[in-house]
Amino acid sequence: MSTDKQNDTMEKLVALCKRRGFIFQSSEIYGGINGFWDYAPYGVTLRRAVEGLWWKYMVEDREDVVGLDSTIICNPMVWKASGHLDQFSDKMTDCKKCKKRYRVDQLETPGVCPDCGAKDMTEPREFNLMMKTFVGPVFDDEHTAYLRAETCQPIFVDFEQVRITARQKLPFGIAQTGKAFRNEINPRFFTFRSREFVQMEMEFFCRDDEAMKWYEYWRERRWSFYRDLLGFREDVLRIQHHEKLAHYAKAALDIEFAFPFGWGEIEGVHHRGTWDMSRHAEYSKKDLRYFDQEKNERFFPTVIETSCGLDRICLALLANGYREDMAQTKKEGKEEDLRISLSLPPIVAPVQVAVLPLVKKLNEKAEPLYRDLKRRFRAEYDDGGTIGKRYRRQDEIGTPFCVTMDFDSLEDQAVTVRNRDTMTQERVGLDQVANYLEARIHPAG
Ligand code: GAP
pLDDT tens sequence across 317-368: 999 999 999 888 877 788 888 999 999 999 999 999 999 999 999 999 999 9
Tell which residue, 302, 301, 318, has the closest CA to residue 310. 318
State the span(s) of the chain assigned CATH 3.40.50.800: 351-441
Task: Tell whether ligand 1 has an atom less than 6 A from the beta carbon of residue 259.
Answer: no
**d(Cα 156, Cα 288) in Å, to the nearest integer?**
9
Q: Output the CA–CA distances (angstroms, integers) from residue 411 to 236, 353, 362, 403, 405, in the order listed.
A: 47, 23, 12, 17, 11
Q: Where are the alpha helices (DSSP H) in 115-175?
A: 153-157, 159-165
Is 391 a residue whose pLDDT tops 90? Answer: yes
Could you confirm whether domain 351-441 is CATH 3.40.50.800? Answer: yes
Is 171 a residue whose pLDDT tops 70? Answer: yes
Is 42 a residue whose pLDDT tops 80? Answer: yes
Task: Tell whether ligand 1 has an atom less than 6 A from the beta carbon of residue 312.
Answer: yes
Q: What angle do CA 373, 379, 384 make, to 5 degrees?
A: 115
- The CA 191 to ligand 1 mean position distance, Å, reads 12
**d(Cα 209, Cα 251) in Å, to the nearest integer?**
14
- The CA 209 to ligand 1 mean position distance, Å, reads 28
**d(Cα 314, Cα 291) in Å, to the nearest integer?**
40
Q: Output the CA–CA distances (angstroms, integers) from residue 21 to 43, 52, 361, in the order listed.
A: 7, 20, 29
E strand or H helix that includes residue 14: helix 3-20
Better-scored residue on pLDDT, 329 or 181: 181
Tell which residue, 263, 267, 272, 264, has the closest CA to residue 253. 267
| Mean pLDDT, the chain, whole residue set | 95
Query: Maximum distance among all alpha carbons in the chain?
Result: 83
Task: Tell whether ligand 1 has an atom less than 6 A from the beta carbon of residue 409.
Answer: no
Going by alpha carbons, the residue nearest to atom 4 of ligand 1 is 150
| 3-class state of residue 329 by DSSP | coil
C-alpha 116 chain-centroid distance: 34
Count of CB atoms situated within 10 Å of the CB of 398: 27
Transcribe 376-396 into DSSP letters.
TS-EEE--SS-HHHHHHHHHH
Could you confirm whether domain 3-82+131-318 is CATH 3.30.930.10? Answer: yes
Going by alpha carbons, the residue nearest to atom 16 of ligand 1 is 309
- The CA 91 to ligand 1 mean position distance, Å, reads 18
Is 443 a residue whose pLDDT tops 90? Answer: no
pLDDT per residue over 123-169, tens digit each? 998 889 999 999 999 999 999 999 999 999 999 999 999 999 999 99
State the span(s) of the chain assigned CATH 3.30.930.10: 3-82+131-318
- The CA 265 to ligand 1 mean position distance, Å, reads 8
Task: Tell whether ligand 1 has an atom less than 6 A from the beta carbon of residue 182.
Answer: yes
Contacts (Cβ under 8 Å, ≥6 apart) of 144: 76, 132, 133, 134, 135
Answer positive or negative: Cα dihedral of 404, 409, 415, 418: negative
pLDDT per residue over 211-263, tens digit each? 999 999 999 999 999 999 999 999 999 999 999 998 788 899 999 999 999 99
Answer positive or negative: Cα dihedral of 77, 79, 81, 86: negative
**d(Cα 109, Cα 122) in Å, to the nearest integer?**
14
Rounding to the nearest 10 degrees, give the CA dihedral for residues 46, 48, 49, 50.
90
Residue at 442: amino acid letter: H
pLDDT value of residue 227: 98
- The CA 178 to ligand 1 mean position distance, Å, reads 12
Task: Tell whether ligand 1 has an atom less than 6 A from the beta carbon of residue 308.
Answer: yes
Ligand 1 mutation target, pool 307, 310, 314, 315, most atoms within 8 A of CB: 307
**d(Cα 145, Cα 131) in Å, to the nearest integer?**
9
pLDDT value of residue 89: 86
Rounding to the nearest 10 degrees, give the CA dihedral for residues 290, 219, 247, 163.
-20
Count of CB atoms situated within 10 Å of the CB of 115: 12
Q: For residue 90, what pLDDT band results from cuts at 50, 70 and 90?
A: confident
pLDDT value of residue 445: 59
pLDDT per residue over 398-439, tens digit each? 999 999 999 999 999 999 999 999 999 999 999 999 999 999
Task: Tell whether ligand 1 has an atom less than 6 A from the beta carbon of residue 267.
Answer: yes
Task: Give the number of the atom of ligand 1 that is nearest the alpha carbon of residue 150.
Answer: 4
